[in-house]
């Protein structure tokens, strides 16, 4: 099940060959040994079908996902993708486990997003977190979204420093609600 790929190829989606592993000769952030292979996200037909099924369940309010809607930075049309949020108390963060895919670029361009789950819909402003702020959120994310673990060098049990070292590949946004929840 995909989390962040564009469901619309015409708006900067990432279509291409199947996922592939790449270590790029990197060393472990702690300086010992080589890193484990990291998959690079490429939207496949199976990912699009998974997104469609995941989106249908999310519209019905089933499962942990939300539907993220952004405005296309070029077309202005709404673009919707299923996502998994990191939540702690009343704070919410949006994680891009597959890097700067289309929804990330759209969100950065407009500074706002809409999240929907079942009948609940809420608009948010976003703020991209610094590396130091992102590390703990990424660590928590890999624990709640296990399907995305192959896209991280750090494992779910790695220290926060290893997640902080790879924040340049996984943008994290703090969500601030605009107004009241809409139904």
Q: How far apart are CA 110 and CA 51, in angstroms?
A: 23
* pLDDT in the model for residue 38: 59
* pLDDT in the model for residue 64: 75
Domain holding 109, by residue range, is 9-182
Low-confidence stretches of the chain (pLDDT < 70) are 1-44, 46-63, 180-183
Residue 1 lies in a domain: no
Residue 38 lies in a domain: yes
Residue 2 lies in a domain: no
Residue 4 lies in a domain: no
State pTM to two decimals: 0.71
Residue 29 lies in a domain: yes
Give the CATH number of the domain where residue 160 resides.
Answer: 2.30.110.10
Residue 144 lies in a domain: yes
DSSP of 51-114: HHHHHHHHHTT-SS-EEEEEE-TTT--EEEEEE-EEEETTEEEEE-TT-S-HHHHHHHHHSEEE
pLDDT digits (tens, 9 = 90+) for 108-155: 999 999 999 888 999 999 999 999 999 999 999 999 998 889 889 998
Q: How many domains does the chain have?
A: 1
Residue 111 lies in a domain: yes
Name the residue with tokens 């673990």. 149
Residue 168 lies in a domain: yes
């Amino acid at each position: 099940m995909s989390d962040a790929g564009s469901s619309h190829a015409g708006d900067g989606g990432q279509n291409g060959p199947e996922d592939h592993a790449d270590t790029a000769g990197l060393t472990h952030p702690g300086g010992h040994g080589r890193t484990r292979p990291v998959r690079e996200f490429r939207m496949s037909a199976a990912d699009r079908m998974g997104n469609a099924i995941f989106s249908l369940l999310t519209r019905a309010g089933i499962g942990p996902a939300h539907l993220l809607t952004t405005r296309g930075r070029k077309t202005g049309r709404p673009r919707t993708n299923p996502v998994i949020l990191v939540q702690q108390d009343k704070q919410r963060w949006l994680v891009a486990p597959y890097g700067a895919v289309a929804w990330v670029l759209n969100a950065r361009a407009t500074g706002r997003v809409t999240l929907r789950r079942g009948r609940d819909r809420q608009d948010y402003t976003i703020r991209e977190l610094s590396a130091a702020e992102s590390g703990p959120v990424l660590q928590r994310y890999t624990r709640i979204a296990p399907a995305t673990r192959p896209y991280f060098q750090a494992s779910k049990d790695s220290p926060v420093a290893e997640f902080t070292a790879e924040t340049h590949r996984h943008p994290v946004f703090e969500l601030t609600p605009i107004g009241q929840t809409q139904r």
